[in-house]
Amino acid sequence: MKSLILLSGLGVLTLLSEIFNFKRKIFPVVLLGLLGTIVLSAMYWNTNKHYFNDMMFFDNYAVAFTCLISFIAFAWFLLSQNYFNEETNLTDHFALILFALVGAVIMVSYQNMSMLFLGIETLSLSLYVLAGSRKNDLHSNEAALKYFLMGAFATGFLLFGIALIYGVTGSFNLQTIANYITLNSGNIPALFYTGVLLMMVGMAFKISAAPFHFWAPDVYQGSPLVITAFMATIVKTAAFAAFFRLFFTCFSTIESVWGNIIFVMAILTLAVGNITATYQESVKRMLAYSSIAHAGYMLLAILAMNKFSAGSILFYTAAYSVASITAFTVLSIIINKSNNEAIDAFNGLGKRNPFLAFAMTVAMLSLAGIPPMAGFFGKYYLFNAALQSGQTTIVLVAVLASLVGVYYYFKAIIAMYFKSGSDSSPVEVSFIHKLLLVLTLVLIFAMGLMSDFVIRLL
Amino acid sequence: MSTIQAIPLNWYILLSAVLFVIGVLGVLYRRNAIIIFMSVELMLNAVNLLLTAFSSYRGDSAGQVFVFFIMAVAAAEVAVGLAILIVIYRNTNSTDINFLNKLKW
Amino acid sequence: MIKLVALVPLFPIIGFLLLGLFGKKWSKSLASIVGSGAIFASFVVAVGIFIELLGADAAHKTATFSLFEWIDAGKFSVAISFLIDPLSSLFILIITGIGFLIHLYSAGYMHDDEGHNKFFSYLNLFIFFMLLLVLGSNYVMMFVGWEGVGLCSYLLIGFWFKNTNYNNAAKKAFVMNRIGDLGFLLGIVLIFITFGSVDYATVFEQATHFTSGETVITTITILLFIGAMGKSAQLPLFTWLPDAMAGPTPVSALIHAATMVTAGIYMIARSNILFTLAPVTLEIVAITGLATALFAATIGLAQNDIKKVLAYSTVSQLGLMFLALGVGAYTSGVFHVMTHAFFKALLFLGAGSVIHAMSGEQDIRFMGGLKKHLPITFLTFLIGTMAIAGVPPFAGFFSKDEILAHVFEHNKIMWLLGILTSMMTAFYMFRLFFLVFSGQFRGTKEQAHHLHESPKSMTIPLIVLAVLSVLGGFLGLPETFHAKHLLEGFLEPVFEASEVRMLPNHLTHLTEWALMGVAVITMIIVVLVARSKYVKNNEVPVPESTTLKPAHKLVYNKYFVDEFYNAIFVKPINWLSQKFHSIFELQFIDGIVNGMGSLVVWTGRNLRYAQTGNVGFYIFAMVLSVVLILLVNYLR
């Protein structure tokens, strides 16, 4: 809770800094603030506190995800340091990002549907603006409008679902609703199930699961790169954590209603994400499809719905986000250098800057799920959780899909090491980016070794 | 018995469902972004109506508080949406969503 | 020393890290010292472990060392722990020993390459993963090593990445291996489901309670075997290995002789109890092995690239090892792994020395007469050739003979085909040898001028390996010689459980002598044929441009035998092997593998058009899906 207040305070402070003219110093302040957030929320470990008349519930799940989100945000700020230097209205961006983070933290710690709604909207409204923050770039405009239109539309479904559930149970509280289901099993009106499914649609949209994924590739490609990185990591993590929290606390007992639908959704998502990614020329767009594919893997945790799910989803989102941040950092350096986001821009990177190439390779291997990188263990734990619940078919599909995944992740590696590009000048990397890359690389390997520790947290 | 409860609950559900579907169809069939916004607002208002009816029938105020949340957020959403639209209108002189297909495949 | 087992994989990974982090700034000599030194340090520890095991009594021959719990999820737990027993100690000895020699050799071979230091870091990483594979005490660790070795081979084969062909070879190796890996992974999953553990000790202990031929064991072993097929290049997943020749020669030696390809053999030998309980799988293993051995040997007859010949011979020899495993002769299979490691490393490094001298030329049609220019290479290569052809008393003779004796007992037809294979092996190896070293030099003037013996760092490994190729066979003398089969005694604890389930097999001494006699006599005939063809008659395979003419005109009737032989034996097999190569291997097998890939890419190309860019369509898709979901819900 204190972390939430700190984040909001930081957001307001950055807005004020415009007025009081200390914008130059705001960057380190924000970084410190984020570290403070991590510490503050970690202090809530094992306290299980309820706030605002049970609207929020800081259990270990919430604490772990708050720490994760704050940490990724920290890494993200390091990544986007250059980007902000070029911007004129720097403080607005900072404030929007911080408010988006507030939304994300609410999304992982809500105990009441109204907080879920507010969290999602706080996050999304900031992002609509950020996606369109390159005002004169038509692609950025298009991305913003597409994201906004479809996002608002999906929110409509989510709200209608909430309303129906409220109508049947008379409460927005997750625990009360869960109790209602156990007490009335057998004579729950169909209206309730409709509500559940409509909420599921709304959430599936947010995590970009097929067939509600259509916005993602376009929005990811059109948005400024750093915003894409933000969406692919923090937004995805928060959305998925919210999705899982909702279904785990509320609807885990009525799996017969949503199980088959999520099953089909997961298969579609895995197939569409992985297969379409194979033919993408733009690395940014390829990463967008890969993020769709990863949503497909994460859906396995919801299908598994057992005591291993929470831990495996935490680990998976962490592994995925860290690897994605690495990949986006390298991509941003490349785009800065060559102004080209196609895969050809990576040609010969193994010679032009071996360290960058190595970082990208590790990120790709981790995303592809090759041991001993963190990504492998993420997949492994997810599959294991699903297998424990007897979900063999979906695990088989996921394994096949990850084989396809190897193909497109390796395209980048091949380009870096086995092709030579027209430009062979070395690529410069700023100190902060170097620091960030070393940090993430160490994490990718360390998480592989320490996977057991992370998993046992939840 | 208040005025709201003079009408059976099912009618409210039906009405808001119809309003919601009209909203969905509006989003589906119209190409002008502003009209699409209005259709989305219609969907949200259908939800508001539903929540108010439920709240009143159950004698629980939480639903009506939620309606206020929705109204506040919807207002913010319109502000952001119109801002985005204005930027787009400046660049393309149009609010037709079918012209927005630079990003694809 | 056994307690220090963790050091064995530790040294190479430290070497890799040092080279990877600082290698760029180091001089070449420092990099090669660090790289080779790391492996040498491992080798010393491995020798220590080996000696200690030799002295230990049966109860103390197996030891497990756990470092820490790595994965612990529910019932599933995996520890980072090392298993030392005779089998793994023998393998680490081979890996580090041969590995060290190859490192030493690389210092000379890669000296002029700009990627010298990077090369050494890859080599160290490769050795590290291979050691992990062999030392792990559970299937998951084996799998980690398995994948790591695959990755490193990809890096090493594509080391000279400017050439697209090399690149494709690297990709092919990776894809083929992935197919096998999938089988292996599924096998591990099934093992866990069946036995509730992936730990060797638990799995093998529980397996003894199963009766022979149970379906679940058969399924597990078949899945494991699919993994072995990919890694050890068996039919139909073998085509990557000959293409993998694209890498620098020391890499070929490393992949072919000491590491990677023997992983499949190791896996089956390690899981021997499971395979023993699945007679059906064993039969499949034997047949696949034999077919591969025969198939690859026929292709070897018609190749003109020095490394290609050796590559197909590796595939063929691996087939032989699988044949041994398939008939239940686990010790013989491992024995052949060892002797093969000696002479195949020798042959590859010798070939490397030849290529080095020939300034990169690999076609044997442009060699010849190298005897006087490369005396050491010539002598050591001769020893290697004799060892692989099965000339007594060189290493290959004893191991091959042992395998064939076991096969004879199992099935006479298989034995006959095995003899046929080793005849072909002898033929193409001596053909290679004669074409390279005897006769006149057929290359360009420039090459002739440049011919030279390789530097010391390259010849010393050759000499060491030659000595091993001569003496290696004496570790496993047949019983007929009234000597102790040293290796069998040493490996006994590993295969104990399997042996009690196998039929006791002892041929009479007379049969054994007879079998040996047949093998030696056929071999001698074949060598003589090859000699008259390539030395006396100075025949050179026709260049690529001319199509194969019908048999030479019968002018010199003196060589009628040769012509006869040519017409009814070499020609058809030539034809067959070329057809096999072009139709079966290139079109059919590659077709399937590439076909799957292109199918996915094709789908990807077309599927992306669903992403029309039109918001209206996106919203339509969403609404349609919502309607469908709700409909399904109401109809439920």
Chain C residues lying within 8 Å of A280, measured CB to CB: 608
Question: Structure tokens of C409?
Answer: 């007992």
Q: How confident is the model at residue A149 (pLDDT cuts 50, 70, 90)?
A: very high
Q: What is the pLDDT of residues A181-198, one digit of tens each?
A: 999 888 889 899 999 999
Q: How confident is the model at residue C529 (pLDDT cuts 50, 70, 90)?
A: confident
The answer to whether residue B4 neighbours chain A at the CB level (below 8 Å) is: no
Average pLDDT of chain A is 89
Residue (of A153, A403, A171) closest to A270 by Cα position: A403
pLDDT of residue C569: 53
Lowest-pLDDT choice from A366-370, C280-284, C437-441, C541-545? C541-545
Locate the chain C residue with the closest alpha carbon to A401: C600
Compute the distance between CA of residue C31 and CA of residue C29 in angstroms, rounded to an integer.
Answer: 5
Locate the chain A residue with the closest alpha carbon to C607: A276
pLDDT of residue C203: 85
Determine, for residues B24 and C614 on separate chains, whether the beta-carbon distance falls below 8 Å. Answer: no
Write down the H helix ranges in A88-137: 90-109, 113-131
Q: Considering CB atoms only, which of C613, C619, C623 is closest to B104?
A: C613
Percent of chain C topping pLDDT 70:
81
The range of the structural domain enclosing residue A32 comes to: 2-457
Determine, for residues C619 and A153 on separate chains, whether the beta-carbon distance falls below 8 Å. Answer: yes
Compute the distance between CA of residue C290 and CA of residue C295 in angstroms, rounded to an integer.
Answer: 8
Q: How confident is the model at residue C74 (pLDDT cuts 50, 70, 90)?
A: low
Q: What is the pLDDT of residues B84-93, one digit of tens each?
A: 999 999 888 8
Determine, for residues B98 and C614 on separate chains, whether the beta-carbon distance falls below 8 Å. Answer: yes
pLDDT(C164) > 50: yes
Average pLDDT of chain C is 78
- Contact predicate C160/C133, CB 8 Å: no
Compute the distance between CA of residue C438 and CA of residue A257 in angstroms, rounded to an integer.
Answer: 80
- Contact predicate A338/A390, CB 8 Å: no
- Cis omega (within 30 of 0) for bond into C236: yes
pLDDT of residue A200: 94
Determine, for residues C615 and A261 on separate chains, whether the beta-carbon distance falls below 8 Å. Answer: no
pLDDT of residue C580: 63
Of residues C440 and A360, more confidently modeled: A360
Residue carrying the six token digits 């996106």:
C618
Among A251, A279, A309, pick the best mutation site for testing chain C contact (most C Cβ within 10 A).
Answer: A279
Compute the distance between CA of residue C209 and CA of residue C191 in angstroms, rounded to an integer.
Answer: 14
Q: How far is B39 from chain C (nearest CA, A)?
A: 13
Q: How confident is the model at residue B79 (pLDDT cuts 50, 70, 90)?
A: very high
pLDDT of residue B53: 92
Q: How confident is the model at residue C557 (pLDDT cuts 50, 70, 90)?
A: very low
The answer to whether residue B36 neighbours chain A at the CB level (below 8 Å) is: yes
Percent of chain C topping pLDDT 90:
0
**Count of alpha carbons within 13 angstroms of residue A300, beta-carbon side:** 37
The answer to whether residue B84 neighbours chain C at the CB level (below 8 Å) is: no
Determine, for residues B50 and A163 on separate chains, whether the beta-carbon distance falls below 8 Å. Answer: yes
pLDDT of residue B21: 93
pLDDT of residue C241: 73
Residue carrying the six token digits 């000959």:
C242
Residue C38: burial class (beta carbons within 10 Å; 0-12, 13-18, 19+): buried
Q: What is the pLDDT of residues A408-433, one digit of tens each?
A: 888 888 888 877 777 778 888 888 89
CB proximity under 8 Å: A 104-133 to B = 113-114, 117-118, 121, 125, 128-129, 132
Residue (of A384, A374, A203) closest to A301 by Cα position: A384
Determine, for residues A193 and C178 on separate chains, whether the beta-carbon distance falls below 8 Å. Answer: no
Determine, for residues C611 and B101 on separate chains, whether the beta-carbon distance falls below 8 Å. Answer: no
SS3 per-residue string spanning C163-175: CHHHHHHHHHHHH
Locate the chain A residue with the closest alpha carbon to B13: A164
Where do the domains of chain B lie? Answer: 8-94
Determine, for residues C71 and A451 on separate chains, whether the beta-carbon distance falls below 8 Å. Answer: yes
- Cis omega (within 30 of 0) for bond into C393: yes
Q: What is the pLDDT of residues B19-67, one digit of tens each?
A: 999 999 999 888 888 999 999 999 999 999 999 999 998 888 899 999 9
Compute the distance between CA of residue C461 and CA of residue C441 in angstroms, rounded to an integer.
Answer: 26
Q: How confident is the model at residue C555 (pLDDT cuts 50, 70, 90)?
A: very low
Q: What is the pLDDT of residues A343-355, one digit of tens each?
A: 888 888 888 888 8
Average pLDDT rounded to a whole number, residues B65-89: 93
pLDDT of residue A62: 93
pLDDT(B80) > 90: yes
pLDDT of residue C553: 36
Average pLDDT rounded to a whole number, residues C67-86: 73
Locate the chain C residue with the closest alpha carbon to A271: C604
Helix (H/G/I), strand (E/B), else coil: C78 = strand
pLDDT(C550) > 70: no
Would the CA dihedral through A54, A59, A63, A69 be positive or negative? negative
Lowest-pLDDT choice from A120-134, C410-424, C472-486? C472-486
pTM of this structure:
0.63
Lowest-pLDDT choice from A284-288, C252-256, C318-322? C252-256
pLDDT(C548) > 80: no
pLDDT of residue C559: 32
Chain B residues lying within 8 Å of A132, measured CB to CB: 84, 87
pLDDT(C392) > 70: yes
Lowest-pLDDT choice from C194-208, C397-411, C434-448, C454-468? C434-448
pLDDT(C25) > 90: no
pLDDT(C552) > 50: no
CATH class of the domain defined by B8-94: mainly alpha
pLDDT(C176) > 70: no
Determine, for residues A159 and B44 on separate chains, whether the beta-carbon distance falls below 8 Å. Answer: yes
**Number of domains forming the structure of chain A:** 1
pLDDT of residue C461: 83
Average pLDDT rounded to a whole number, residues A294-307: 92
- Contact predicate C103/C116, CB 8 Å: no
Compute the distance between CA of residue C230 and CA of residue C502 in angstroms, rounded to an integer.
Answer: 27
pLDDT(A155) > 90: yes
Q: What is the pLDDT of residues C582-632, one digit of tens each?
A: 666 666 666 666 676 777 777 777 777 778 778 888 888 888 888 888 888
Write down the H helix ranges in C327-444: 330-357, 375-389, 395-410, 412-437
Average pLDDT rounded to a whole number, residues C66-92: 76
Q: Considering CB atoms only, which of B28, B101, B105 is closest to C620?
A: B28
Write down the H helix ranges in C411-532: 412-437, 445-450, 456-471, 486-499, 509-531
